[in-house]
Each structure stands twice: as C-alpha cells, then as structure tokens.
Amino acid sequence: QKEVEQDPGPLSVPEGAIVSLNCTYSNSAFQYFMWYRQYSRKGPELLMYTYSSGNKEDGRFTAQVDKSSKYISLFIRDSQPSDSATYLCAMSGVGTNAGKSTFGDGTTLTVKP
C-alpha cells in the first residue's frame, strides 16, 4: 500500500462550486503537508502548506490537516475555470530527509464556465 493515497478523480464541477480534494497517509512521521497545483504542460507549483495539524486559509483556498485520522483536505470556494488543473498532495517529515517529499498521484479538476 502506498504511503499517500489521493482521491483519483477526475473531478468536473460548475463554476462557483465548492471543491473538496482529499488525501490519506500512513506515515506518522509526516509533519509538513503541502498542496501543489500543476497546470497542463507545466511543472507543479506549491499552492499551500500546513505544519502539523489544523487549518490554513488563503483567499478561496483552505487546507485542513487531521493528524489523528491521517487525513488532509484542500477546499476551493467559488471555483473558477482558472482553477482547472491537477492538484497533488505532498508530505514530508523533519530531520535529515526533510527535503524529500512523498506525493499523491494527483486529482485532475475541471471547472466548467
């Protein structure tokens, strides 16, 4: 079983919808939880990160981490066509391997006007 499992999608929603993207993980050593956004034919870019448990909000985006359940989510409010992309969750620990992340497989989101 993979260390990080991501809801596979694809996901197609109308403009203005609330989107929920989710990942589960098995490694208790993970402390950093990231969401990357990857547009077609581009490399991934960091969208948000959270350290340990809790919520973090940035504009229309909210990242949630529940370490007790080993579950993380990214919510997108008032979704826009420009949000259409593949979203990858990623996680890493602290210490010597802190620079190395484990990625989910990605969820492809399409927001239709």
Partner 1 sequence: DVKVTQSSRYLVKRTGEKVFLECVQDMDHENMFWYRQDPGLGLRLIYFSYDVKMKEKGDIPEGYSVSREKKERFSLILESASTNQTSMYLCASSYGGYEQFFGPGTRLTVL
Closer residue to partner 1 (CB): 18 or 98 = 98
34 belongs to the binding site for partner 1 (CB under 8 A): yes
29 belongs to the binding site for partner 1 (CB under 8 A): no
Closer residue to partner 1 (CB): 32 or 61 = 32
Cα 16 to Cα 53: distance, rounded to the nearest angstrom: 28
The DSSP 8-state label assigned to residue 29 in this structure reads T
Instruction: Give CA separation, 53 vs 18, 40, 63, 65, 80, in Å.
Output: 22, 31, 10, 5, 28
Residues in contact with partner 1 by the rule CB under 8 A: 6, 32, 34, 41-46, 49, 51, 88, 90, 92, 98-101, 103-106
